[in-house]
Structure 1
Amino acid sequence: MRKVVLAILSLMLVLDILVWRIAYQAATAPPPEALQRAQASSARPKRPIQLKGDGFRQTLSLNGSWRYLQTGAELSEGYEKPEYSDADWHEMDLPNNWYLAGLNYHGVIWFRRRFTVPAEWEGRVVRLRFEGVDYYAQVWLNGEPLGRHEGYFQPFQFDVQDLLNYGGENVLAVRVDSPYEPYGTTWPHHKELIKGIFNHHDTRPGGGWSPAGQEYNTGGIWNDVLLVASDAITVDALRLTPGPAQGDTLIEGGDALLRADTRVYNHSAQPVSARIALRVSPYNFESAYASVTLTDEVTLQPGENEITMQDTIPSVRLWWPWDMGYPSLYRAELQILINGQIVATREETFGFRQIQVSDTWEWRLNGVRFFPRGTNYIASQWLSETLRPLEPPQALGPMPPPEVARYADSTPWFLRDLQMMKEANLNFVRVHAHVLPQEFYRAADALGLLVWQDFPLQWGYSDAPGFHDGALRQLQDMIELLYNHPSIVVWTMHDESPWDTPEMTSRIPDYDPRQNRRLDQQLRDLARKLDPTRFVHINSGSGDAHVYPGWAYGRWQDFSQAPGAPMITEYGAQALPNLETMRMMFTEEELAYKSGEARQRWEFRDFQPRETFDIARIDPEEGIEAFVANSQAYQANLLKFATEAYRRLKYEKVQGIFQFMFTDGWPSITWAVVDYYRRPKLGYAYLQTAMQPVLPSIDAALPDRLKRTTWVYQDPSRFWFALWVVNDLHQAFPGATLRWDVYQGEQSVVSGEVRVDIPPDASQQVTAVTDLGLSPGEYTLRVRLLNARGELLGENLLAFELAEAEP
């Protein structure tokens, strides 16, 4: 009897497990493991397309109003079926991140859209293309599964010609999952979503380490959805690699090699003889050489064909950042011709440029040494808004001249931000632990700003083999997507990976010094294989330095010792946004940083109280106006002092600098010098001064204290200053004049000038001034640097106060 009872109990246990498993699979249809680590994929066989040879190509946008339903993760209940009624579903305009549509939500949302395609498309190749979906996507057309995709930044597509109702109604269903990663187990230290700063960062909603750090989810169909119809031949990729024709270095005006790697798909059932022509011509400049055409005769087999062409391009114009020359761009127009008829085309822009970075962080572009003056950039927490027209309260801001903007093929968001960087005298921008839309990189190409591109890994991730495989696939996607942009000169695999971030030893309870090291090594090795033309860095924070004296520790004066040299890729301090922005973020009651609830709201918006009050010693008790002014003054002084201190040691000890950071990615309180609405903080102007290509730098005695941005000396006899000239331009300025004046009010009370020959790309001390004989009072030191014709090269200011000496 006992055996019978045990058998019955065992059977009940097995049945219970089976019931639980069935319920689990139904509740997660399809199960997460079926979606994870999978790129756009479908096993559906395709019927061959008859080649018509007419070069047909049309595009139909599926942007606009879609139906949607928040479903958690339960069974679809037939949501993918054409006959399902979605009449009671809500509507959302796409593309969009669903948070911007009013949904603060983690999990699954189903989207549906009905559309018609022209009857004349029948018999053509038709592809359904998604330019960006965050994060997991599964797609059905007219009830038939197309496939699935993982990743937020990559475009993906499906061949759909066999499933369309031509001239009739079609139903597209997309299951999008942007999940919450379980706090304490997966997030923050063993993450599985490759989203970088969009899923974990100390500038995103909720901050970096609190349980609220995943709030305001970025999920959604955030970029265009398109149907593209074409003839049976399609050009699926065109990769352009420039190189020197002779020697090891590209030369301005010299000949260069161009290698073109093309991926062509023959959707027909028969091999086809074709002529491939690649016309290369100037895009944003004029040249004596109007164009050069590379040609090849090939046989296109059914399916995918890899074709390589290479030839010499004469007298090339090189791509340079704006402060070294002109960002010359070329247009490459590929044509596939059959019997003399164009059947497929593809166009790309690219540039001839060459980057070299030594083991000691010496930078050379096109063989010329240069000093990076950079910043870190997070455009927005929700990428869909970067692709729209600018609307209040977003400020329009400065824009590049029309003759530059028309070659950028970008959006006002990126044109504005990059122009603000140029006007701040920056020549380099680090896209910090995320990937942006193509429009950003096209704008950087046209405006002449170098780009340091991070792969979207921030802090700790899973070390499961499946996660590693998925990361390698997504890295390949990133490099293939962005390969042709000359502005990009660095690929970085990870930001502050646990294996080389000392801070993680105290943050991660089960800290393993090996965590993600093998992952990063695999990523580095793959990146070098895929793209040997760029500098590949294993981890930002390994070899380069993230230093925060005066904010996370120490004093701002510690920057005089050049901490983190030779390569500093993060330094800075937080500052409150302008009062107008603060009032948009908080109620009047919350603007007083006193109550527990108000503090929670401030810290949710990334405010760091310990650093603000205990290290920076900024007093909030004088009211919000004074708090904003004091906070911005502290950041401005720190950035200017640090930047000048680093730049004076150019090449002697320091090889480059990247301030952290440029813009707020959402209405928040961060290290940015420009807030989310693009209102500059005081730090923007101070950074602009300190980053001048030709900088008259003031190296003064360190003060006893600060009064906002005024340096205060308790003993007037301690005040002295030295003047330096830092020239980042590759141009000498013989016979220049360095003039200085000390003003009390509007009156110059003491002055001097020095004649100086300024060598190119160098830093030198010009003079030192002591014993000025000044009485106690408030003063401004103004320095101006003029060329031999009396034209202004650069200027600088230092406000200081000499206090009454104590008896």
Structure 2
Amino acid sequence: MKKYSLNGLWKYRLNDGEKYRDIQVPSNWYLQGLNHSGKVHYQKKFEISTQKDKDYYLIFKGVDYFCKVKLNGRLIGEHEGYFQEFSFLVNDILKDGENLLEVEVDSPREPNDIWPDKKYLIKGIFNHHDTRPGSWDPEQGQDRNTGGIWNGVLIMEKAKIHMDKIIKVSSLLLKDGRARLDIDIPLDNNDFPQEIETKLEISGIGFKENFEINKKIFLSSGKNHIHLVKTLDKPKLWTTWDRGKPYLYNLRCKILNLEGEDLEESSIQFGIREIKIDDKWNWYLNGERFFPRGTNIIPTQWLSEYDSEMIARDIKMLKKANVNAVRVHAHINRQEFYKACDEAGILVWQDFPLQWSYEETDEFAQNAVSQIEDMIDQFYNHPSICVWCCQNEPSINRNTLDPLLYMTAKAKDSTRYIDIASDFAYHPYPGWYTSHYFEFHSLPAAPFINEFGAQALPNVETIREMMKEDELWPPKWSVWAYYDFQYDPTFNVAQIDMGKSLEEFIENSQNYQAKLLKYAIENYRKNKYSKITGIFQFMFVDNWNAITWSVVDYFRRPKKGYTVLKTVYQPVLIGMDLDREKVGLDMLRATGFPGIWVVNDTLNLYENLHAKIILLRGREILAEKEIGIGDIPANDVKRISYPPMLKESIKLNITERGIYTIEMELRDIKDNIISKNSYKIEVV
């Protein structure tokens, strides 16, 4: 099997008769300086040496959105959808020597009488969302189009007998600890019916474990499916990084004819794990209850720029923030991102790219069914993916389209949880769209929450790259709205003070987001399993240089909310029941110190722990006490009744009004710090 890359410099033009200009492939055309919606005509000349006893496939790894493909003047096929890999058999058209490839790509702007309520493009957040260029504005909400040949193009030379699509591995965990693998190998036989031999090698990645399966199989002409079953006695299970190691296996499949000649070889990576979510939203990973400390992620608006360096940086920042699960929000990302999550031990909730409302025709439903099958087939082997979700925040489609997608996904993949829709009921926004963030005390949207948060301005160096100086201060609100800033929630719900400068506004905005996230997440986490089964904060990183709910901006500069997320998402977290930011001096003396709790999301028992409580005013330590915590059971929550001496110590040392800090350190018997947290309170 040989691969011939067609990546590199191509030619393009917008209209017939125009001169062709240079463009890089792969790329989204916007990133090449082409701010355009509609058709772009691509052209590529290439040379290749062919053999008569081989098959040749022209493969596209990602084109946004419609495309028509011609080779040497002949139409060879069409495709719709932005995320799929697709291919064409080109034996009869490909020349030995020079060839001309022409691709018409159409990424249209949907008409105003269709967009946004009757959309027909299955692109999710890439053509309608409140974090994209222009937000949801009727005139500007489809700006900066994502069209283009955004992923690689290649010619693949194969034997007449070869693998079609991707080998799929399903795993079943048995009660005795063994794992049974079902290996599905799709084969194309473009030759006469014959017997072949398959050789499978399964090996551990980073650990010693090797298995082989050899089997002779008779193939009919055309498409064939081979199912092989292998039982592993002591499998290494994939799990999240905070619970162990995300063990992965490599499967290498070789196809040979009976003379021993290699026909094809293919390798895939897979993991063995069991994920279950019941009808009360209780999560189980490998038989153990699991609490997702999640975030929503839209890492870029243009997938061609999301390279291995960006992915590695995001994974590092996610783990540093103690995130163990991500929701790929209303879009499908590139294979490399899911591979990175597999290797990092980060669980993935995967949305199908339907965002808000779509047309109600049979043609659209048929297209959506086909594309959700493509999604499941293409990303099936990633152990990190635990959920397929059919639509985000649907309206009328909730009762007409989503049940159909649910049935399709359920039939396609019985190993994962299928969520019919991520409804508004999962998405509470106290402190942003409603009321005050203290409402999180009542645990809105319990038991499972997969969106909550507040906007925050990015750092000053980032926002200065976003707009012109005269648009920044005083703010030109129409320009700010284009960059996704929401005026009404900022000032009329959150009541954030602008201050007297851009720097003050940024400080106040980031402080507000940080306080909201800390209060919300601590309230949710301390009610783990009793009332709350999992949370996904919205959102992690900006998909373009904008003002959104992210805790990390487009240039990967963290906001204050990132530091808070890192603290409140610690796998082991100590905290206190502090339900107010201000307290009267007399009230504090009467009530004393709030209750203490410890959350343990790990599978480890922590024994003989103690907590150090430090009271400060500025940098001055006013009091420092230690209290016994005792044992913290694995995967549980413990509340601690504080001793009277601590209450008296706090009371005696807060003698006047002002801002105080309470620092908490959870330590083991060797005085190693297990968890740290802190609170500020204003005494009035």
Q: TM-score range by the shorter chain?
A: over 0.9
The structural deviation recorded for 1:748 is 1.9
Question: 2:56 aligned with 1:165, yes or no?
Answer: no
> What is the match of residue 194 of structure 2?
272
Secondary structure at the counterpart of residue 118 of structure 2? coil
Question: What do the CA deviations read for 1:82-123 (whole angstroms, capped 9, x no partner)?
Answer: xxxx8x2111011110111111111001000111002x5444
Deviation, structure 1 residue 715 = 6.2
Q: Distance in 2 between matches of 1:720 and 1:545?
A: 33
Q: Is 1:767 paired with 2:641?
A: yes
- Partner Cα separation in structure 2 for residue 657 and residue 638 of structure 1: 14
Say yes or no: does 1:281 pair with 2:162: no
| Structure 1 match to 2:305 | 385
Q: Deviations along 1:229-248, whole A, 9 cap, x unmatched?
A: 1221111131100112x33x
Q: 1:454 aligns with which of 348, 351, 363?
A: 351
Matched residues in 2 for 1:110 and 1:478: separation?
A: 27
How does the TM-score come out when normalised to structure 1?
Answer: 0.82
- CA–CA separation in structure 1 for the residues paired with 2:201 and 2:241: 27
Q: Residue 257 of structure 1 aligns to which amino acid in structure 2?
A: R
**1:529 aligns to what SS in structure 2?**
helix
What is the rounded CA distance, in whole Å, between the counterparts of 1:524 and 1:745 in structure 2?
A: 55
> Looking at CA atoms only, which structure, 1 or 2, has the larger radius of gyration?
1
Measured in 2, the distance between the counterparts of 1:742 and 1:324 equals 33
Aligned in 2, Cα 1:162/1:684: closer, same or farther, shift over 3 Å?
same
CA deviation map 1:521-562 (0-9, x unaligned): 0110111111000000000027x6101000011001111111
Which of 412, 415, 420 does residue 538 from structure 1 map onto?
A: 420
2:251 maps to: 332
Query: Residue 13 of structure 1 aligns with which residue?
Result: none
1:59 equivalenced with 2:3 (yes/no):
yes
Shift, 1:636, TM fit: 0.5
* CA drift at 1:415: 1.4
Determine if the alignment matches structure 1 residue 146 to structure 2 residue 65.
no
User: Aligned equivalents of 2:69 and 2:584: distance in 1?
Assistant: 65
Provide the rounded CA distance (Å) in 2 between the counterparts of 1:488 and 1:796.
31
Q: Tell me, in whole angstroms, the C-alpha distance in 1 between the residues paired with 2:479 and 2:67.
A: 33
What's 2:145 paired with? Answer: 217
2:293, 2:569 within 8 Å by CA — same for their partners in 1? yes
Distance 1:517 1:240 in 2: 33
Give 1:619 deviation, angstroms: 2.1
1:316 alignment partner AA: P
Q: 1:678 to 1:719 in 2, by over 3 A?
A: farther
- Tell me if the contact between 2:301 and 2:544 (Cα under 8 Å) persists in the aligned partners: yes
Cα distance in 2 for partners of 1:728, 1:306 equals 42
Q: Which residue of 2 aligns with 1:259?
A: 182
* Structure-1 separation of matches of 2:271 and 2:42: 40
SS in 2 for 1:154: coil
1:591 aligns with 472
Displacement of 1:282: 0.4
- Say whether residues 1:786 and 2:667 are aligned partners: yes
Task: Kindly indicate whether residue 413 of structure 2 is the aligned counterpart of residue 524 of structure 1.
Answer: no
Q: After TM superposition, give the deviation of residue 714 of structure 1 in Å.
A: 9.7
Q: For residue 581 of structure 2, what is the aligned residue in structure 1?
A: 703
Partners of 1:458 and 1:138 lie apart in 2 by 26
User: In 2, distance between residues paired with 1:580 and 1:782?
Assistant: 31
Show the counterpart of 1:37.
none
Residue of 130, 140, 143 corresponding to 2:60: 130
AA at the equivalent of 1:179: P
Which of residues 223, 237, 240 is equivalent to 2:169?
A: 240
Partner Cα separation in structure 2 for residue 130 and residue 712 of structure 1: 66
- Native 8 Å contact 2:581 2:682 kept in 1: no
Once the two structures are overlaid, the 10-residue window that deviates more, 712-721 or 525-534, is: 712-721
CA distance in 2 between partners of 1:481 and 1:737 (Å): 49
Alignment of 1:409-488 (within 5 A): 411-488=308-385
d(CA) in 1 for partners of 2:187 and 2:618? 71
Match of 2:493 in 1: 615
Separation in structure 2 between the aligned mates of residue 731 and residue 715 of structure 1, nearest angstrom: 39
> What is aligned with 2:85?
155
Matched residue, 2:388: 491
* Aligned pairs (5 A) from 1:92-103: 92-103=23-34
Matches of 1:264 and 1:714 in 2, distance apart?
78
C-alpha separation between the residues in 1 aligned to 2:605 and 2:187? 50
Give me the whole-angstrom Cα distance separating, in 2, the residues matched to 1:210 and 1:702. 41
Say if 1:215 and 1:765 are closer, same or farther in 2 by CA, change over 3 A: same
Counterpart-to-counterpart distance in 2, 1:95 and 1:122? 30
Aligned 8 A contact 2:63 2:147 in 1: yes
Q: CA deviation at 1:516?
A: 4.3
Cα distance between partner residues in 2 of 1:112 and 1:312: 50
Q: CA deviation at 1:719?
A: 6.7
Partner of 1:69: 13
**Amino-acid identity (%):** 41
The corresponding residue for 2:506 is 628
Q: Contact (CA 8 Å) 2:128, 2:136: kept in 1 or not?
A: yes
d(CA) in 2 for partners of 1:121 and 1:610? 66
Matches of 1:165 and 1:110, distance apart in 2:
22
Q: How does 1:334-353 map to 2 (within 5 A)?
A: 334-338=253-257, 339-353=259-273
Q: Select which of 435, 442, 446 maps to 1:554.
A: 435
Does the CA-based 8 Å contact 2:438-2:579 persist in structure 1?
no
> CA 1:713 to 1:495, structure 2 compared with 1: closer, same or farther past 3 Å?
farther
What are the Cα deviations for residues 137-190 of structure 1, in whole angstroms up to 9, with x where unaligned? Answer: 1000000111100000000000112112202x210000000001111x211011
The counterpart of 1:375, out of the listed 278, 295, 304, is 295
Q: 3-state DSSP class of the match of 2:68?
A: strand
Structure 2 CA distance for partners of 1:713 and 1:90, relative to 1, 3 Å: farther
Listed as ranges, the gaps of 5+ residues in structure 1 are 1-56, 78-85, 388-410, 500-514, 705-710
By how many angstroms is 1:674 displaced? 0.2
- The answer on whether the counterparts of 2:581 and 2:680 sit within 8 Å (CA) in structure 1 is no
Aligned Cα root-mean-square deviation (Å): 1.6
* Number of residues of Structure 1 aligned to a counterpart in Structure 2: 673
CA distance in 2, matches of 1:777, 1:624: 27
User: How far apart, in 2, do the equivalents of 1:462 and 1:293 lie?
Assistant: 50
Q: 1:712 to 1:150 in 2, by over 3 A?
A: farther
Alpha-carbon shift at residue 211 of structure 1 (Å): 2.2
Name the residue aligned to 2:533: 655
Amino acid at match of 1:187: W
1:492 maps to amino acid: C
CA contact (8 A) 2:398 2:421 kept: no
**What is the SS of the residue equivalent to 1:494?**
coil
Superposition deviation, residue 341 in structure 1: 1.9
Equivalent residues of 1:61, 1:226 under 8 A apart: yes
SS in structure 1 at match of 2:422:
coil
Tell me what 1:744 maps to: 617
Deviation at 1:684, TM superposition (A): 0.1
- 2:299 alignment partner, SS class: coil
* Farther off after superposition, 475-484 or 772-781: 772-781
Q: How far apart are residue 220 of structure 1 and its match?
A: 0.3
Deviations 1:316-340 (A, max 9, x none): 1000100111000000111111122
Q: What's 1:312 paired with?
A: 231
Query: How far did residue 259 of structure 1 move?
Result: 0.5
User: Which ranges of 4 or more aligned residues in structure 1 deviate by more than 3 Å?
Assistant: 120-123, 711-720, 767-771
SS of aligned partner of 1:177: strand
Structure 2: distance between partners of 1:522 and 1:642: 35
Q: Aligned match of 1:179 in 95, 104, 108? A: 108
Aligned position for 1:506: none
Shift of 1:590: 1.1
Shift of 1:720: 3.9
Q: Does 1:108 align with 2:52?
A: no
In structure 2, what is the Cα distance between the partners aligned to 1:58 and 1:719? Answer: 74
